[in-house]
Amino acid sequence: MTDTDKDILRISEIFGPTIQGEGALIGRPTVFVRTGGCDYRCGWCDTMYAVDSKYRAQWKPMTFKDVMGKVRELSSDKPMLVTLSGGNPAIQNLEPLIRLGQVSGYQFAMETQGSVAQDWFSDLDFLTLSPKPPSSGMETDWGKFDDCLAAAAGKPATSMKIVVFDEVDYDYACDAAVRYPDLPLYLQPCNPVGDNETECDRVTIDERLRWLAEKVTNDNNLNAFVLPQLHVMIWGNKRGV
């Protein structure tokens, strides 16, 4: 790999400003940088276009300088929050992008499932670790999750977010809360995606949100925040908002 190759990122989409739709930063204005590629294949993933290699031709190769240039264009050169998402953004080297943006006053948040640790996690301003519950069809490697926490080194504001589909997922979230009692925990209902990725079953989502809210409020052993996917409530599964 040449030095030039190392500067290239696989980008699925860059969009905004919009609002962060979930987790600890819900409602905060942000520009999204969605990378292409992922080491997971979650059964209910709502961004397969940024995950599956069959979409690779749609991912744009960009230097980190070009990515930051697009962010600055979208934000009218006004420093704001940049959210790194995917796919799994942790599988690419985002350190040069983060440092370039921070020099100009931008802050960086990232969400990852905690399966790949990178030294540059400690450069982030915010880190959301989102281990995937049993309904995803994936198995959590808690050793790798611990590696991600160690890489963050307590520097970014770190929280844990878990999607809950059913009782089994809820039990998984409870176990994760016991394992990491010092991590703020955010729970949200699963967003079922049909054959058409733009579909949004709001009735089912609302029912699951009510069920989850009742579970948490009646559970004296769990300290967690229950949140909707705010962007889904506003725009459904529409891309680029």
- pLDDT of 195 reads 43
Q: Per the domain annotation, does 241 fall within a domain?
A: no
- pLDDT of 230 reads 79
Query: What is the identity of the amino acid at 89?
Result: P
- pLDDT of 140 reads 97
Which structural domain, as residue segments, surrounds residue 46?
3-235
Paired strand residues for 108 = 82
Q: Per the domain annotation, does 179 fall within a domain?
A: yes
Q: Per the domain annotation, does 208 fall within a domain?
A: yes
Q: Per the domain annotation, does 120 fall within a domain?
A: yes
CATH number at residue 72: 3.20.20.70
Q: Per the domain annotation, does 48 fall within a domain?
A: yes
Tens digits of residue pLDDT in 194-235: 444 555 677 788 889 999 999 999 999 999 999 988 767 666
- pLDDT of 144 reads 98
Tens digits of residue pLDDT in 9-60: 999 999 999 999 899 999 999 999 999 999 999 998 989 999 998 999 999 9
- pLDDT of 241 reads 58
Tens digits of residue pLDDT in 123-160: 999 999 999 999 999 999 999 999 999 999 999 999 99
Tens digits of residue pLDDT in 83-117: 999 999 999 999 999 999 999 999 999 999 999 99
